[in-house]
Amino acid sequence: MLPSNQTLSGALQQKGVNRRRFVKFCTAMVATLALPPRYVAQVAAALEKARKPVLVWLQFQDCAGNSESILRSSHPSVLEVVLDLLSWEYHELVMAGAGHQAEAALERVVREEKGKFIAVVEGAIPLADGGVYCTIGGRTAWDIARHVCGSAAATIAAGDCAWDGGLVRANPNPTGAVGIEEAVPGAKVINLGGCPQNPANTAAVLVHYLTFGELPAMDQFNRPLFAYGRIIHDQCERRANYDAGRFVQEWGDEGHRKGWCLYKMGCKGPQATFNCPSVRWNDGTSWPVKAGHGCLGCASHRFWDTRSPFYDRLPTVPGFGADVTAGEIGLGVTAAVAGATVIHGIASAVRDRMRPPASPEPPTKA
């Protein structure tokens, strides 16, 4: 690949970013990754030394929602991600080149950066009928995925379609679509579920990789624990209302206007893990439950089939025993335990804040 002496701190200085802002950025990354604050210096040191690694972003059976999501990245900004942290050599949605010049850029990375570059995949990969349902430059997505991800140091599956086939794979899966792990067995993959992925998590994974030289600790689905280790319901700002038995009964009713629990409107928060309530979206502005709609469980495995119908309420309630429904809780608990549950709600919020981060130590020393 193109030889380079460019480092991140050098790049940041050339664009006029001072040391203080750089450290602030590192601090934000450490917080997202749930690392103890002493790692700020380590992250900063690693990034300062790092030559810009090469990244290619592949789009297959996608909607470009994950690309758009990364364009909304705030900390770091999209410019820092695309120009300063990394050398972003291929990305159909935004790259300057087209046609065979674009294909040549991708080929050059695979050839000259073999085993060193990062691949991001967005969209599912259709395997049916020889892969004719997605071709780029006359080649199938499957062919390109094996060629590129098979040569990458690591592959990030951005969004559900690249993780588990997503919506494209939902029943009856007309094109035989799968995620990248199934399409390219043996590739080193980290899955960032969500529809779309949250850019704060994607950036954090990239920074972790640049800092420690490997991917962060992962769960059984190869999702990073820092983002997918906790249940949404346990982090939800409306949780105290649930504990107090205060539920929205109809769209726009008094409870809805007061921000009560959306469980009865089909919210899947009790069965979903994601850091959506804490990281939120669009520079921390909001998230779906804050905007008055139930969680879809969009970061859950095969959620399109496993969490729908989206307006049906979950049959069981965690924490109250499997045979008690929320309807019963709503009726029974509201009157009887009203005062106590308010206190319980506050206590659980405090407890959640004091809970140690999911991964107190990084998986590897730099």
Partner 1 sequence: MARIVVDPVTRIEGHLRIEAQLDGGTVSDAWSSGTMFRGIELILRGRDPREAWIWTQRICGVCTTVHALTSVRAVEDALGIEVPENARIIRNIIAASQYVQDHVIHFYHLHALDWVDVTLALKADPGKTSQLAESISSWPKSSRNYFKGIQDRVKALVDSKQLSLFSSGYWGHPAYHLPPEANLLAVAHYVEALEFQKDFIRIHAVLGGKNPHLQTYLVGGMSTAMDPNEPQATINPERITFLEELASKAQAFVDQVYIPDVLAVASFYRDWFGRGEGLGNFLAYGDYPQGGIKDASRFFLPRGVILNRDLSNVHPLDPKNVAEYVTHSWYEYSDGDNAAKHPFQGETKPKYTGPKPPYEYLQTDEKYSWLKAPRYEDMPMEVGPLSRMLVAYASGHQEVKDLVNGVLKKLNAPATALFSTLGRIAARAIEAQLMARYVSKWIGELGANLGHADLRVHNGEKWDPDTWPREAQGFGFHEAPRGALAHWVEIEDKKIKNYQAVVPTTWNAGPRDGKGQRGAYEASLLKTPIADPERPLEILRTIHSFDPCLACAVHVVDARGRRYLVQKAS
String marking each residue 326-365 x if it binds partner 1 according to CB under 8 A: ----------------------------------------
In the complex, the smallest distance separating the C-beta of residue 39 from partner 1, rounded to whole angstroms, is 27
The region of 26-34, 38-46, 291-299, 339-347 touching partner 1 under the rule CB under 8 A is 291-299
The region of 37-45, 184-192, 218-226, 250-258 touching partner 1 under the rule CB under 8 A is 250-258
Q: What is the DSSP secondary structure assignment for residue 224, as one 8-state letter?
A: B
Strands (E) located in 35-128 = 54-59, 87-91, 118-122, 125-126
Total residues at interface with partner 1 (CB under 8 A): 104
In the complex, the smallest distance separating the C-beta of residue 282 from partner 1, rounded to whole angstroms, is 4
How many CB atoms lie under 10 A from the CB of residue 154? 18
Pairing outcome for strands 177-178 and 125-126 = antiparallel
Distance, CA of 278 to CA of 208 (rounded, Å):
19
In the complex, the smallest distance separating the C-beta of residue 203 from partner 1, rounded to whole angstroms, is 13
Rule CB under 8 A: which of 104-143 touch partner 1?
104-105, 124, 126, 128-141, 143
Q: Strand pairing partners for 189?
A: 155
Strands (E) located in 173-279 = 177-178, 189-192
Question: How distant, in Å, are the alpha carbons of 43, 236, 353 from that of 28?
Answer: 11, 21, 17
Nearer to partner 1, 49 or 139 (CB): 139
Residue among 37, 115, 186, 252 that touches partner 1 (CB under 8 A): 252
Distance, CA of 72 to CA of 303 (rounded, Å):
24
Is position 77 an interface residue for partner 1 (rule: CB under 8 A)? yes
In the complex, the smallest distance separating the C-beta of residue 152 from partner 1, rounded to whole angstroms, is 17
Distance, CA of 205 to CA of 198 (rounded, Å):
11
Distance, CA of 316 to CA of 324 (rounded, Å):
6
Is position 15 an interface residue for partner 1 (rule: CB under 8 A)? yes
Q: Strand pairing partners for 155?
A: 119, 189
Residue among 190, 289, 329, 333 that touches partner 1 (CB under 8 A): 289
Q: What are the tokens at 76? A: 């770091």
Is position 32 an interface residue for partner 1 (rule: CB under 8 A)? no
Distance, CA of 291 to CA of 309 (rounded, Å):
20
Is position 315 an interface residue for partner 1 (rule: CB under 8 A)? no
Rule CB under 8 A: which of 53-72 touch partner 1?
54, 59-69, 71-72
Distance, CA of 79 to CA of 35 (rounded, Å):
25
Residue among 22, 117, 226, 287 that touches partner 1 (CB under 8 A): 287
Nearer to partner 1, 68 or 361 (CB): 68
In the complex, the smallest distance separating the C-beta of residue 289 from partner 1, rounded to whole angstroms, is 7
